[in-house]
Structure 1
Amino acid sequence: MPKLRVVFMGTPDFSVPTLSEIVCAGHDVAAVYTQPPRPAGRGMGLRPSPVQKFADEAGIPVYTPRNFRNPESVAELAALQADVAVVVAYGLILPRRVLDTPAYGCLNLHASLLPRWRGAAPIQRAIMAGDTETGVTVMQMDEGMDTGPICMMERIPIGPDMTAGELHDELAFVGASLMGKALDRLARGELECRPQPDEGVTYAPKITKEEARIHWENPAQEVHDRIRAMSPFPGAWFEALLGGRPERVKVLRSVCVKGRGEPGQLLDNQLTVACGNQAVRLTKVQRAGKRPMSGVDFLRGFPLGKGTHFG
């Protein structure tokens, strides 16, 4: 099997399985591009990205440009003489001069079935919309936002209680395997890409802080979908009066159940809360600075009576 000279561009945990797949397949990874180290932790020390950590351990040269607006960054990339760049959740916009630098351009792994859910938060948006299926797409990058030709695609189901964290992990590994197959086809001269259809285009903008707040007046299914779309981060939340003080409580897991009451009303000792129609049972919650706990354990610590209203 012919091997390719690859430049890899990625930053978060989602990117690491694909980089690992490329290394294990024996391709020549000339360099890794990733976001610069960021302040993190209590001491706010600079912390390298998960991709940089992997690259450092594998002995792969790492580049962390803040952008590609200066000619030096583009010349540096060109000097690597890559056959292809593989881009997975990099976090920087790539101008045309960068897209055209590798001999075969740039292949991007996107966590949706394009053209559905173009944009920054396809995993969360798919769950929030109640989609029962999603997948990963390998596409040839152009200057648009996830608008390039589709090369390969793989579908997976979204379970009714699957969280964004669970879907993220599954898509990361399915996507790594798919990109490996795409590179094999490219190396053999057999990778074919087709334009995206004009029908079915939707967009997945970043999740805002306000979107994480639970609105109990919505139907139970919508509340449940929002909770799992926000789990584990940023975490859907509601406000409760605990120890005489209002406090935000994150909800990490829930189930839809039968129940009736005023929206936001506590219906029983299992942390079942009424919604606009039916109810949701909050099965895993987390107070600020505390470990996650079951809804039942939460009520043991704060014996809120039936009929308590959550704002």
Structure 2
Amino acid sequence: MSIKKLDDGRYEVDCRPEGRNGPRIRKKFRTKNEAMVYQNRIMGDGAKGEFEKRPKRDERRLTELIGLWYKSHGCSLKRGDERQRALVAMAERMGDPRAADFTTTHFTQYRADRLAGKFARETIGSGRKKGEDPKPVSANTLNHELAYLRAVFNELERLGEWKGENPLGKVRALKFDETEMAYLTAEQIQPLLAILDSRSVKAGVVARICLSTGARWSEAESLADRQVKNCRIHYTRTKSSKNRAVPITEDLQKQIKAVLPFGDCYKKFGEAVDAVGLDLPAGQLTHVLRHTFASHYMMNGGDILTLQRVLGHASLAMTMKYAHFSPGHLAEVVNLNPLAVKPEQ
């Protein structure tokens, strides 16, 4: 071991804490005192058997880590293939860095570029003319991407395939305004159903299922005959992975049984919405039926816990967005505000 003064005035420590056959440590310091303190500490750790050599550099690419995650865990997820494609696309947009070099900066810069529309050309399909603005990337979408990639490192750590901190563990999600939640009034529902019945009886029945049980369009559209019995619809393979059964009328059960299987009715519903002239927020075409069920259920005096079970929400917090439709919700505000309370004489 030695401490050598270099030509630039600094001091270099050159030692082998674990003996001649152990790893060689070389490090430079501004002063000789700093070099001596470091050398004494390193040599002391080596004598006590506590010295750990620098871990081997992880040369795997980010896409390799994603592939390993998919093979060991992602393939078991309900939408694992779709998740893998999204993760690989993210990695490629970031330049597919090596694991040893991947930091929060890669993702935060990628996120900023996405918000600025740098990768927008990738979303332009064959049906879009040049010069048209592609669909913008929302903050909510980027928050999902952050959660997906962070989960990859968390899972690999559990499997012993990743050591150290999660590179995205301290990245904060973006804040954004709560989206508008549209629902149909009683006056809008009947004209919509009439148009659907005239164009596609099956689409009309699917819409009635959604309005009667709060089902997602895909859940209603994919129903099999065995799932409808005893005036109940048994939903399986749901988004939350939990089965649920919702009661229906005998009349609706007869309508369902008469036209099963439904097939793809999504396009027919969109055409009916356009024909009626409904103005719906982006991304809520068929989902407006689920919102309509939940909103009217609460307005008609339903309780929030039952609604949670009917909708199949994993947590009550997800269902609470419908609480304000309850007749009693914040009702006392009308009578207890300072303009309503008369001053004492």
TM-score of the superposition, structure 2-length normalised? 0.20
Q: Which has the higher contact order (CA 8 A, sep 6+)?
A: 1
TM-score of the superposition, structure 1-length normalised? 0.22
The structure whose Rg is larger is 2
Q: Which has the higher strand share?
A: 1
